[in-house]
Homo-oligomer: A and B are copies of this chain.
């Protein structure tokens, strides 16, 4: 098997070196232009200062829509338009507080409402706090859980080099913790923030409810306070927690995806999608998540127009609405595929931060994966030559049934969850050249696919 595998590699390498050489000159031009202009960073600075918080349903999101239309027009796109989509509208409001009490001692915990959580009565909800690490532990609580505050405190697995894997191993506490806790009669939920960093910043993020059980309030607690609360619980019995949240949901709102394209010269109905999501959580300014993907995607069109590049297939930028709390933009966009003659041959999403690109993760059939892998050396022009199996992005996921190759930009992941969904996700955490090189990697790959097909 090893010899066969190696021989296969030989054949692939030999057959496709020529294709790489052909695109190398374009790749170098894209890289030189981007690192000279640094336009992605300038755009990100504008987006984060103009729109600021831009959660679905907010005024900020609609500002971001207008900003993106203007920048895509400035970039020289052949056409720029919006497509309507109904999105949720949730606001955390001014109050998010929690206190832990042990006898006469009261400690304030740094918390924030999880996205979608219900609020509490004015005096909050109070209950005995029970620390757990898994849903199995919750189910085993039985009657003890009734009226309690369930404290989910399973940390990231620090030994995962890819922090996205550590997130994947912990995030069900945030997304489904309130459901599991409500099933056993709990009154509320605290969840350890989804990060490797040990600090005093809570990290929000999406949580779900199940219509079959009561909606109970849920908040993230900073990792420092999660450790402190855990120590209190180990140190004494009968610790109670009071949680006060002013969060509430409003009726859905009409919003929009923002779309622009460079029409393909030979196969305009074959689309190479490049995108990210335009919404962001209402903490920080969504500089990495996903202002970076937005700026990089616009930059792909800007660079091509600036260099006078006309692809054979259409390169389309889609800036999705409502990735963070509903995915309604992505679902609406994928639904249209059935009603058009267009075919999305590939979709490239940047939604893992504006850090140094290392490569791309690909979800596709094996033939397409092999064809994309041959671009590894070409992508090294932007330092992004690691093409691996698996990956994509939340917004492009709904295109999977249509046979689209799903491709996620893979930036270095160590710092991402230090900032993700928190007040730390601001422009000063983005390195201009790292951001720019991510845009270059996306532009090179989009160009190669648009020229060669897939």
Contact = CB atoms under 8 A, between A and B. Distances in A.
Interface in A6-46: 6-7, 9-11, 13-14, 17, 31-32, 35-36
Interface in A31-63: 31-32, 35-36
A288 to B, nearest CB: 14
A431 B416 CA distance: 11
Interface centre among A36, A158, A414 (most CB of B within 10 A): A414
A288 B25 CA distance: 35
A35 B412 contact: no
A161 B2 contact: no
Interface residues of A, number: 31
Q: How many copies does the complex hold?
A: 2
Contacts of A414: 356, 431, 433-434, 437
Contacts of A383: 161, 358, 412
Contacts of A159: 31-32, 35-36
Contacts of A433: 158, 163, 196, 414
A144 interface: no
A163 B358 CA distance: 16
A370 to B, nearest CB: 15
A382 B161 contact: yes
A66 interface: no
A299 B172 CA distance: 35
A14 B9 CA distance: 11
Contact of A381 (B9, B161, B431): B161
Contacts of A381: 161
Given A381-B161, A414-B434, A433-B414, A6 B10 contact: yes
Contact of A9 (B10, B163, B382, B437): B10
Interface of A: 2-3, 6-7, 9-11, 13-14, 17, 31-32, 35-36, 158-159, 161, 163, 196, 356, 358, 381-383, 412, 414-415, 431, 433-434, 437
Given A31-B159, A35-B159, A414-B433, 9 more contacts: A2-B17, A6-B11, A7-B10, A9-B10, A161-B381, A196-B433, A356-B356, A358-B383, A414-B434
The 4 tightest CB contacts between A and B, nearest first, are: A6-B10, A32-B159, A6-B13, A414-B433
